[in-house]
């Protein structure tokens, strides 16, 4: 089996699904975030991830979110099963992480990492900066 690969990803507030199956990405972050709420506070973040794979085995995408690059200070780690459709054809699919209530205590850098099996090392998907609005 060829290893799955991530084609693209979007960090947003929420992903909803229409009755016709289309996905709506709400509150998309193209860069980081300017936070204007109370400190300490929380922000809601989820990740929409498009992957490409050949599905002939069960695979789980693990996504990890850590703060300020501190190993072991994981805010969340989640497993998302890749759809198992027996085939030798290349497929693509969109996976959505659950919404995380991420703590904000000041200017922060969050690191989203991923892997497709526990034997792999974590790979950085994206660094995401949250800056406090001091105005």
Range of the structural domain that residue 23 is part of: 5-132
pLDDT > 70? residue 128: yes
Lowest mean pLDDT among 82-86, 118-122, 130-134: 82-86
The pLDDT, as a whole number, for residue 98 is 84
The pLDDT, as a whole number, for residue 52 is 83
Structurally, the chain folds into a number of domains equal to 1
Contact 42, 64 (CB under 8 A): no
What DSSP assignment string belongs to 76-127?
EEEEEEPP----SSEEEEEEEPPPEEEEESSSEEEEEEEESSTTSPPEEEEE
Kindly state the helix (H) or strand (E) to which residue 23 belongs, with its residue range.
strand 23-26
- Which CATH number do you get for residue 59? 2.60.40.10
Encode pLDDT of 49-92 as tens digits.
Answer: 998 876 666 778 888 888 876 654 566 677 777 766 666 677 77
The pLDDT, as a whole number, for residue 48 is 92
pLDDT > 60? residue 1: no
């Amino acid at each position: 089996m060829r290893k799955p690969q991530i084609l693209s990803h979007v960090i947003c507030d929420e992903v909803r699904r229409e009755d016709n199956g289309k996905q709506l990405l709400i509150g998309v972050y193209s860069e980081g975030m300017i936070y204007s709420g109370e400190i300490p506070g929380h922000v809601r973040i989820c990740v929409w991830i498009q992957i490409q794979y050949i599905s002939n085995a069960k695979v789980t995408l693990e996504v990890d979110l850590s703060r300020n690059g501190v190993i072991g200070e994981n805010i969340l780690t989640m497993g998302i099963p890749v759809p198992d459709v027996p085939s030798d054809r290349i497929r693509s699919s969109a996976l959505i992480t659950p919404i995380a209530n991420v703590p904000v205590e000041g200017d922060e850098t969050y690191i989203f990492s991923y892997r497709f099996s526990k034997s792999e090392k974590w790979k950085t998907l994206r660094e995401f900066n949250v800056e406090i609005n001091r105005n």
